[in-house]
Chain A
């Protein structure tokens, strides 16, 4: 899909979400530009997953607006009806959940998990769907012979990769990645980084990626947001935030890892 590079792909304004007394997200605003990978880092419980779920329409905000570029115009997502939002989620977006069980259908085969999104995108021919599913299993380094197995027979890391394949198979415009490389061993993690980077540079994929791994953020994201207690405490180019962090918490975060 052609994107207008002159306006944001996504615009988040003054987003709020509380769970009881917990301010999970407090007054969050930022823009995502077409072709950009935005990284989100921050301590556990700082509201990163909540923010992703709010933006992707999986959770309703208490306050604030989210706009998304369609046909070169920004549309307000909260104005969309349920079917329109569902359609967007299945065709133009992808969501890789922190816990694979939230993003997979555990009672259908690996192939069906991938095929489901293709069918939502009007693929009808069984042979083509199966072939495409095999191609993507290979791309995430799962043996294609396991296409008919249930995801629950996969290891955690394999489930995570299946989830990624399921989401990327329809060439989405925008993917939300919640710890996409968490639980993966380093060599598979490297392969995924390369895969994602390739999609970003060849297909113009944009992404918002939550990660606790600053090295992953460094290699993949153009800009970085640092969250603490539901608020954005720092944002900037990834190299700026990692090499010249301004906020005390960002400095602590960067100085706590061995090497970035």
Chain B
């Protein structure tokens, strides 16, 4: 029966590794990456997965091996009267410390790129979170935000150009929300009273989910929007059409 428990503990690394090995085949893995920087994050994840995976297998294997070998029912030898081993303690302090320090330094650049190196350009649009929607404001023909010709959309359909740097100003009207674009590997909490920036460079077209990732009330689950990535030409055309439609609406309203 003792051996049975050892096998149970051995199942942990086996099933643990198997789950991660099989998951991609069922598409339970990173969603498609359409950003230029996303690969850095995915690779860093995989790099840490390999390191931790090796440590995981080694330590779980040691646990299995020791419980298997040294159990009282099967091991005739007396227990070793040992209070520890100084050299070992030093080794298993310094080696993990070095690895952790390496990971810490290795990732700094990716974080700086994602959160600190803001591109020097006019914002492409301004996104505002409110219970329970994402509103978007594009600059009109004058290319400037917060002027009379701004194009404002409340329908949760956000269009962005691909193949170039995009800079978004993001903010909140009421409570905390988080602007999460899984396919662009981007996430940033928005805070009332604070304006923040977010930037990316998309490398493909398509329609993608925009998720609210910070609890914002009872309707948090339905604070969904859609991101449409288009070529610059398509985007400009869409923007022009939207502008015209909005102008027409305003004129109609004024006419009434």
Q: Do A and B bind each other?
A: no
